[in-house]
Amino acid sequence: MHLLSDHKKSSKTTRIASIVQEHIDAFIHNIFDIYRSSEDTPEIKTSSEAPLTEIAIWDAVEVAIRRKKNRRTLFSRLDTDVVHSIFGTALDMDQIHDPNFPLPDLDVHRRQINRMRQVSTMWNDFLLSSPRYWQVLSIKSPPPTIAAGIKRSGSAPLGVYCIGNFPQPAPDQLTLELVWCAARVQTLRSDDLGAYQFCRVLLRTRTSALQTLQLRGPGYPKRPIDPLRYLSIPPRIRHLTADGWRPSSGAVWLMGLRELVLHGLSQVDAEILLVLSACVNLERLVIQCLSRSHVMDLSGAPSTITLACLQVMDLTFGSEESAGNLIRRLVTPRLLWGSLDVGVWALETHRTDYCRFMSQTEGRTLYPKSASIRIETVRSTSTRVVYGTESRRFAFESYDWVQAQVQLFHDLVQESQGMLREPALTVTVISSFDYVWPFLKSLDDQNVRTIKARLHEGEADGLLAAIAAPSDLADVLVTNTTTDLPFESLKSIAIHDAKLDLARLTVIAEAWQGHLQRESKQWLEEVDLVGCSVTEMGLDEASSSLEAIGVTFRPVRCLDFEEPWF
């Protein structure tokens, strides 16, 4: 649906651009015609005639502009579809009923309308007489403004919205203005808890045209409520965003939902699982349940939840128990993209669930060609690790990573890689703290092709230690040449914003390459440095040493150790 909307907008933009370009081409052609007709000779004979030629060109431009003014096309004579295309593009008319259109942009739409009205009397008259531009109504506008907007909108479908952090309106006045036109409301979106009760009043009327509902309720830690159980929700509703509340599993209209977003859940219980099982036509699912409480009772919950149409899924949990209870039940044969974000407590408990999530291939036989791992320090005390492919991604975060958890993460990645037939890995490290390097080192037996490190002006010693050849490498190769060596598949390294011992890097590369040449293997092929401060060896010397063993060296904005580090 979004692709279709983008295509329509692109077609309108292309049409407008072609019309503008046509006028520009005609204008330029006119200038050359005037200039050629004013020339006595086709060529300038002396350099002293150059200023006269420039004057002639400017005169030609002036004449062309004067002619254009005399023959200009009046706004009122333009084709109506062209005018609507121009205004529709400027006002995002194709997106005002899009459930994923940013809510604050609806407020921008209204402000832009008022700006365009002030351009000219003709523009103002055109906008006031065109109902399509008055579909967006703010709950928090003054009652006269709401009444005027409703009148100007004619019979067009309405998009009613409310954004928080504004003075509270008088509910009685709002009810009087908006409830009368509830049957025309196609979109109702609010992120303001203060407007929750009014939205409930509006939903008690016959909102037969409603297709998109976004509503923020009391939410966690208060007891979740069901504001839709006794309300008039039409079967046409397709997009539901519930923040701090949840729908009833018995609602018939759940079968027609295409998009379901659940935020602020206290836990994933039997009722939530029943709601999901009722959404048989769902295409996009977003769940956010940050509570760390565990699910205690799932009696009555379905053992399998088949979402045959689901294409996009984004899950965020504070509890592994909640995540595991959901993902082990889901069957998603058409899923194109799935994301799972979970707080880490005991990776070994649900490793099978996570591996299944990463490797679901119902109805598909293609395996990913590449995968990535991101290791990042957040808030200076927490480490976040993300493993993903083109279609799946899972992430964990912890404030107290220990070696046991590092090993569990390695085992989870190893098992997932094996099930996905060992796609090439890119590992990205973003941190200036030493406690991230055990994560990188734990992956030295995986199919890592690229390592990227952004160290925020920190030392790169931990990175170099992680990729260094073992001290007994020569003995290992003599006794058993088939032994898998750490990071043997590594081909490129990119280091950003770091303090780097460049001599140590070249020694590591030479040691590896010297041992692998006997098997006609090339270890490292590329080294990129961006914004680094290097010591012990100059950039030119390092470039010569690395290129001698077949490594392309590309330093960008790097400083030798003699220069100050900024």
Decide: residue 506, CB within 10 A, 0-12 exposed, 13-18 middle, 19+ buried.
buried
User: Distance (Å, rounded) from C-alpha 202 to C-alpha 205?
Assistant: 6
Q: Tell me the backbone φ, ψ of residue 261, rounded to 5 degrees.
A: -120, 120
Under a CB-based contact definition with an 8 Å cutoff, are residues 293 and 321 in contact? no
User: Distance (Å, rounded) from C-alpha 426 to C-alpha 363?
Assistant: 27
Mean pLDDT, rounded, for 61-75: 55
Q: Is residue 138 part of a domain?
A: no
Q: Mapped to the 3 state alphabet, what secondary structure does 128-167 carry?
A: HCCHHHHCEEECCCCHHHHHHHHHHCCCCCEEEEECCCCC
| Predicted pLDDT at 4 | 42
Decide: residue 61, CB within 10 A, 0-12 exposed, 13-18 middle, 19+ buried.
middle
- 46 pLDDT higher than 80: no
| Predicted pLDDT at 143 | 82
- Count: domains in the chain: 1
Mean pLDDT, rounded, for 182-198: 86
Mean pLDDT, rounded, for 504-525: 80
Q: Is residue 320 part of a domain?
A: no
Residue 540 belongs to what domain range? 391-472+484-565
| Predicted pLDDT at 358 | 84
* Sign of the dihedral through C-alpha 296, 298, 303, 305: negative
> 427 - beta bridge partners?
373, 451
List the end-to-end C-alpha distance of the chain, in Å, as a whole number.
49
At residue 72 the predicted structure's pLDDT band, cuts being 50, 70 and 90, is very low
Most confidently predicted of 6-20, 32-46, 274-288: 274-288
| Predicted pLDDT at 18 | 66
| Predicted pLDDT at 50 | 41
Most confidently predicted of 138-152, 168-182, 449-463: 449-463
Hunting for tokens 């928090």 — which residue is that?
A: 140
Measured CA distances, 252 to 163, 232, 275, 282 (Å) = 29, 11, 10, 14
Question: DSSP 3-state assignment of 269?
Answer: coil
Task: Give the DSSP H/E element, type plus range, for residue 504.
Answer: helix 502-516
Shortest CA distance to 293 belongs to which of 329, 257, 269? 269
Q: Is residue 230 part of a domain?
A: no
Q: Is residue 410 part of a domain?
A: yes
Lowest mean pLDDT among 39-43, 410-414, 484-488: 39-43
Under a CB-based contact definition with an 8 Å cutoff, are residues 237 and 210 in contact? yes
- 245 pLDDT higher than 90: no
Most confidently predicted of 237-251, 354-368, 393-407, 552-566: 237-251
Of 249 and 280, the structure prediction assigns the larger pLDDT to 280
Lowest mean pLDDT among 210-219, 258-267, 328-337, 517-526: 517-526
Q: Tens of pLDDT along 82-124?
A: 778 778 877 888 889 999 999 988 888 888 888 888 877 888 8
- 170 pLDDT higher than 50: no
Residue type, 530: V
Mean pLDDT, rounded, for 415-441: 90
- 336 pLDDT higher than 80: yes
Q: Both tokens of residue 255?
A: 């079968």
Which parts of 148-307 are beta strand (E)? Answer: 158-162, 185-190, 212-216, 239-243, 259-263, 284-289, 305-306
- CATH (domain of 465): 3.80.10
Lowest mean pLDDT among 259-263, 265-269, 370-374: 265-269
| Predicted pLDDT at 279 | 94
Q: Is residue 428 part of a domain?
A: yes
| Predicted pLDDT at 87 | 81
| Predicted pLDDT at 108 | 87
Q: Is residue 32 part of a domain?
A: no
- 190 pLDDT higher than 80: yes
Decide: residue 275, CB within 10 A, 0-12 exposed, 13-18 middle, 19+ buried.
buried
| Predicted pLDDT at 472 | 47
| Predicted pLDDT at 522 | 78
> 408 - beta bridge partners?
none
User: Distance (Å, rounded) from C-alpha 266 to C-alpha 242?
Assistant: 13
In percent, the amount of the chain with pLDDT more than 90 equals: 27
Rounded to the nearest integer, the mean pLDDT of the chain is 79
Q: Both tokens of residue 25?
A: 């081409």
**Residue-wise DSSP of 20-64:** HHHHHHHHHHHHHHHHHHH-SSSS--SGGGHHHHHHHHHHHHHHH
Helix axes 196-203, 171-178, angle to 10 degrees: 30
Count other C-beta atoms under 10 Å from residue 8's C-beta: 12
Mean pLDDT, rounded, for 252-256: 90
Mean pLDDT, rounded, for 491-518: 86
Under a CB-based contact definition with an 8 Å cutoff, are residues 215 and 199 in contact? yes
Decide: residue 47, CB within 10 A, 0-12 exposed, 13-18 middle, 19+ buried.
exposed
Of 16 and 464, the structure prediction assigns the larger pLDDT to 464
Q: Both tokens of residue 114?
A: 């008022």
Q: Is residue 346 part of a domain?
A: no
